[in-house]
Amino acid sequence: MENERHEIVDLYIPRKCSATNRLIAAKDHAAVQINVADVNEDGVITGSTKAYAICGMVRARAESDDSLNRLASQDGYLKNVWNYQR
């Protein structure tokens, strides 16, 4: 919901799981958000981050590490770590 100045005034804005695109409910206490910082060539943090939200269902299935590797590989943080197997 927005006010007259087009500012968001909602008390709760739900997040979406980065791995499954499901909404993370307010009662999902197993959900986590991991922020990965960008670094320059010298290894110093530049100030920008990338957030990954993982829902409790993915964590309960023990697939959060594989999902995080897949997402980080797609964003260029990891190389040659995740590959799809049928």
C-alpha 20/C-alpha 68 separation (Å) is: 11
pLDDT band at 68, cuts 50/70/90?
A: very high
The arithmetic mean of pLDDT across residues 41-57, rounded, is 94
Give the model's pLDDT for residue 12. 81
Give the number of residues written for the chain.
Answer: 86
pLDDT score for 67? 92
Q: What is the mean pLDDT of the chain?
A: 89
Look up residue 40 and give its DSSP letter. -
* pLDDT tens per residue across span 4-17: 888 888 778 889 99
Residue 85 has pLDDT above 70, yes or no: no
At residue 48 the predicted structure's pLDDT band, cuts being 50, 70 and 90, is very high
φ and ψ at 23, to 5 degrees?
A: -70, 140
Question: Could you tell me the pTM of the whole model?
Answer: 0.78
